[in-house]
Structure 1
Amino acid sequence: MVNKQAANVLELLEFFAAHQRPATLADIANHFGWPRSSTFKLLGTLKTRGYLYEPRPKGGYYPAPLLADLVNRIEQAQPVPKDVHALLERLAAETGETAVLAAASDAYATFVATVESPHPIRYAAPVGKRVPLHATATGRALLSQMDEKTRASILRKTSFQAYTEMTLTTAAAVEQEIQTSRERGWFLGEGGYTPDLGGVAMPFPLEGRCFALLIGGPNQRVQPRMAELVAILKRHVDAYRARHG
């Protein structure tokens, strides 16, 4: 379910992040195809609350410093754990593939920190991307950290959409794969959500929160190197835990 007004605010912020310049009411209304009257009200509300300002009179609107300050204060309250971005950079550099830190949100895994592969053909994983828990190695690594009651509740509400031929489409199949992965020590991704993409994931609980780490990329590169990727991920996870207790 999507609230249209909230979605419009988020799309507007994404617009400014992409264009990085002031925009007039006409620029914004034309870009999104929004009615000028509702666009005027939206911009006026954000301006009145201090989230937009006009750098030059009649020169267009732009996000005010208040927005960055608000985001910074939110991040400081629940920061991404120390040195995790450096860990992702090391994983991406050593493997040549995309490295991701993810957390659970309802029936999805949300990417909270990423470092993408330098290859032109790679796993595109922008921060904020969401992937279904049941269909991905990342998601199952997150599910594995939940107690049985919580996991069962999530799986009862899951639609089990079959994204590819490799998608697990029942709660029983997901539970079996979680058990197999626990015994193996890592979680396998082999195109269950996006065809031709695969990877290896591991649970990464930190500071009382459930995270998962993923190394992912095109199957033609990842599958022949699976044992190597597992070893690299395990080595770096063990080293991180040794440093931080």
Structure 2
Amino acid sequence: MDVLVINLAGSTERMAFQSRQLAALGLPFERVEAVSADAASALRSENYWESWERPLRPAERACLLSHVAAWETIAARGRPALVLEDDAVLSRRVPALLAGLANMGGLDHVSLEVRGRKKLLGLHPREVAGLKLSRLYQDRTGAAAYVLWPAGADKLVARAGRKVALADALIATAYDLSSWQAEPAQAVQLDVCAWYGLTPPIETRSTIDGVSAARPAPASAQRWRRIAMQLRLALRGPTHLGRARWRRVPLDPSDFR
């Protein structure tokens, strides 16, 4: 399975970390040149960028377009790939998981990641490579490590062409995806390593927060969009009553040592 690492040209320390990590796991990879914050705004109209529930900072715009580039690559090649942000820390079990996923059907998207928030997960998991694979009806945050199939990539590229959102929010609200969650989680971002009892392998500073800490105030239309989205999220649980429940995804620290 292809492995695509999204990386900014100036983030050499993170790229070196990914090179070491993926070499140790025996996973060849390709680097996807991340869109810079300076370039992102010019690549889409301002009307497009203002169409979410709040204004996106330049680095958030760049993050979305960087993921879109990865999705377009997967769609064009016609085969699934593991998509990684360059601050993703992986479990030693990831290679076996990827091998197992390559032989499974009916999947559009599999999240490997956890960030401490509850997810709406199906009650009847599948088994793959000694792990559970639970239907993911609603995620809340995180796009640092996921497997995407071409059909899923097509859906996300089309969705990103119609509307803007944070990259993880766009994935999480793409309800036409057949999305699943690996359990225990097989990836975390550097900034939550300590929360899970893991020692961060390199500096944990966020490239998004480092560009601009201030968020512009949302316009009235954006506030109404946010309210509508929150109502929609609140209804996800009752909609799937009897087949899913909100819970935290476990993580086994020994998988990362």
What's the TM-score once normalised by structure 1's chain length?
0.24
Higher share in helix: 1
Higher Cα radius of gyration: 1
TM-score scaled to structure 2, two decimals? 0.23
